[in-house]
């Protein structure tokens, strides 16, 4: 973890995570929820929560409590910047809502002996993440090797935010599924994205369950409205509910999921 990875700047604006516009302050976190690799292992349970501290608490903890999680301070030590009293007071409780991007969940296992020579963010949490256990994937695979369908994770994460971070107003700012961009598939067939419909329906069901149990979720944004250029995959995958024909003047077609989502919103 680099020392300049995150700190405050003036006027209640922080470069990488905390934006203020028209007096509304918000933070968006890209996260994957972590499950224990071995549910009966106390060390793996601690590892899962520690990973959440490093993935989510790194940002949410200062915004709620004015400082980094104790696990991060204990492990990272002097490499982690320290808040002054003024900075802590400035950032604590400074958001009006929390934006969360949720796509998938990983298994977490304790890794007590990380590389102590070449320090890195991935090693600092002393956790090993994986997408399978006993040869079985955590969920249905998709076109991206990191994205497995695990809808219960969004429910678990919302209750985690409710309980640990004082239940702030939350907007799901990204949630979606990637299809492979199969150039040989006719457009008519590419529009039949039943897996995306199942992904969205199951995640929204779990989100509704979390709301009924007190999670302060205020809104939901699906990723993405139309097929786009993904920062790590380019045009090799399609996240959109609207099909973009990149070979025919960017012509648009509604996928089956777009019709489904329209009916969902109407009812």
CA angle, 20 as apex, 57 and 7 as ends, to 5°? Answer: 45
Per the listing, tokens 């990637």 go with 178
Q: What are phi and psi of 76, to 5 degrees?
A: -80, -30
Q: How far apart are the C-alpha atoms of 157 and 160, rounded to whole Å?
A: 5
Helix axis angle, 152-164 to 194-212, nearest 10°: 30
78 by Cβ neighbours in 10 Å (0-12 / 13-18 / 19+) ranks as exposed
Beta strands in 94-216 (DSSP E): 97-110, 127-130, 132-133, 136-137, 140-141, 148-149, 170-174, 179-180
Residues 238 and 226 sit within 8 Å (Cβ to Cβ): no
Catalytic residues: 174
Range 124-145 burial, b when 16+ CB lie within 10 A, else e:
bbbbbbebeeeeeebbeebbbe
CB–CB of 60/98 below 8 Å?
yes
Nearest alpha-carbon partner for 211 in 169, 176, 151? 169
Cβ atoms of residues 177 and 196 within 8 Å: yes
């Amino acid at each position: 973890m680099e020392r300049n990875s995150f700190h405050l700047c003036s006027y209640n604006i922080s470069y990488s995570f905390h934006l203020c516009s028209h007096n509304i302050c918000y933070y968006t976190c890209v996260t994957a929820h972590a499950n224990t690799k071995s549910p009966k292992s106390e060390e793996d349970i601690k590892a899962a929560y520690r990973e959440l501290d490093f993935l989510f608490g790194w940002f949410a903890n200062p915004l709620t409590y004015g400082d980094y999680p104790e696990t991060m301070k204990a492990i990272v030590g002097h490499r982690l910047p320290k808040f002054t009293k003024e900075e802590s007071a400035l950032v604590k409780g400074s958001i009006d809502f929390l934006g969360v991007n949720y796509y998938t969940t990983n298994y977490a296992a304790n890794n007590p002996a990380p590389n102590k020579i070449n320090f890195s963010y991935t090693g600092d949490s002393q956790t090993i993440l994986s997408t399978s256990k006993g040869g079985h994937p955590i969920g249905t695979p998709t076109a991206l090797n990191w994205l497995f369908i695990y809808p219960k994770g969004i429910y678990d994460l919302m209750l985690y935010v409710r309980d640990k971070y004082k239940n702030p107003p939350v907007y799901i700012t990204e949630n979606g599924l990637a299809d492979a961009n199969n150039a040989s598939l006719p457009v008519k067939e590419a529009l039949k994205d039943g897996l995306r419909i199942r992904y969205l329906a199951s995640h929204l069901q779990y989100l509704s369950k979390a709301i009924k149990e007190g999670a302060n979720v205020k809104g939901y944004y699906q990723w993405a409205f139309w097929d786009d250029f993904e920062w790590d995959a380019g045009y090799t995958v399609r996240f959109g509910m609207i099909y973009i024909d990149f070979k025919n003047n960017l012509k648009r077609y509604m996928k089956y999921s777009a019709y489904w989502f329209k009916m969902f919103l109407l009812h």
